[in-house]
Amino acid sequence: MKSKNILVTGGAGFIGSNLVDKLRRDNDVVILDNLHTGKKENIAAAIEEGVKFVKGDSKNIAKMKEDFDFVFHLGIYSASPMYRENPNLVGEVVEGMTNILEYCKASGTPLVFASTSSIYNGIEPPHREDVVPGVTDFYTEARIACERLGKLYSDLFEVNVSAMRFFSVYGYNDIGKGKYANLITQFMESMIKGKKPVIYGNGEQKRDFIFVTDVVDALLKATATSGFNIYNVGTGKSYTLNDAVKKLQEVTGKRISPKYVKMPVKNYVMTTLADTSKARKEIGFSAKISLDEGMRKLYSSITAKI
């Protein structure tokens, strides 16, 4: 991507802050974030080097003074428990997405936004982008609505939109999300503190874990697309939570066994596994960081701050 003026909604959050760190080297970047789970400390270095931060919700994009060449919309409530606690978030997400798309329509600005692999809940893996999703939970309905709106604006108004279906993302700055952080991050933090990681069920549920810098790579590669597109952002490999804990025992040096508790959620996603062929073929994206390497990177970043 040549030097641009870029807006990143949710840019103070986990994935957003990592994207901003990459973009700011060669672009002018503005962050719009309501700090729901985002943290100013995630972007302290970026702000020092000239990145502009605006506290606000994505639905208020029309109030922004700048003209943007590109929009990354990551400022979307990002965990299923948030929606169970407040189903009205579905409406807020749809309003925000609509206003983002209205801006892109009026300005001719391309859009890449965060969707989710939770859309595949109840569908046999490996998960392909062309499946028809079922009705499973509020979080999923919000992201499906965003995808459908993206397709609508692309078809009616020729807005270039890419929906990125993130699988289980972990990595730098995730720890600040607390109970909404990725399971790898939650387990690692517990073990570093000498506590048992808590696993719901028997731990045989599987996740396609992807490191955040690989996700950033996928987001950047999607900027070259036109029309409406959906891409899986995963590794194409799945690990059980029990396997993940064993790997974390090696990385942390803590031989702490997990605590198993009863599964409290009826519609829990048991397996995620990305079919990565479309992203590889169309945008040249393949994840580079293995789970073992990603865990080591995350461990180093967390322990460096202790």
State both tokens at 55.
Answer: 């506290």
More confident residue, 75 or 4: 75
Q: Is 139 annotated in the active site?
A: yes
What is the pLDDT averaged over residues 165-170? 98
pLDDT at 3 over 90: no
Residue with tokens 């597109």: 229
Our CA angle for 218, 158, 225, nearest 5°, is 20
Q: What is the pLDDT of residue 248?
A: 98
- 264 confidence band (pLDDT: 50, 70, 90): confident
pLDDT at 1 over 60: no
* Alpha carbon distance 198, 190 (integer Å): 9
What is the pLDDT averaged over residues 143-163? 98
% residues pLDDT > 90 (the chain): 94
* Alpha carbon distance 298, 210 (integer Å): 12
Residue 141 to residues 127, 211, 218, 274, 286: CA-CA distances in angstroms? 18, 25, 23, 20, 27
pLDDT at 165 over 90: yes
Q: What is the pLDDT of residue 40?
A: 96
pLDDT at 145 over 60: yes
Alpha helices in 4-88 (DSSP H): 14-23, 44-48, 80-85
% residues pLDDT > 70 (the chain): 99
Q: What is the pLDDT of residue 2?
A: 59
Q: Per DSSP, what are the bridge partners of residue 127?
A: 274
State both tokens at 191.
Answer: 């073990």
What is the pLDDT averaged over residues 110-138? 96
Q: What is the pLDDT of residue 305?
A: 84
Q: What is the pLDDT of residue 5?
A: 96
Amino acid at position 302, single letter: I
Question: Mean pLDDT, the chain, as a whole number?
Answer: 96
- 65 confidence band (pLDDT: 50, 70, 90): confident
pLDDT at 44 over 60: yes
Query: Considering 83, 103, 120, 139, which one is annotated as catalytic?
Result: 139
Domain 5-169+211-234+274-287: top CATH class? alpha beta
What is the pLDDT averaged over residues 73-79? 95
Range from 1-10, 18-27, 224-233, 249-258 carrying the lowest mean pLDDT: 1-10
Confidence (pTM): 0.96
Phi-psi region of 8 (alpha: psi -120 to 50; beta: other; left: phi over 0): beta
Taking only the tens place, the pLDDT of each residue in 209-259 is 999 999 999 999 999 999 999 999 999 999 999 999 999 999 999 999 999
What is the pLDDT averaged over residues 24-50? 96
CA 137 to chain centre: 18
pLDDT at 294 over 60: yes
Q: What is the pLDDT of residue 286?
A: 98
* Secondary structure (H, E, C), 74-93: CCCCCCHHHHHHCCCHHHHH
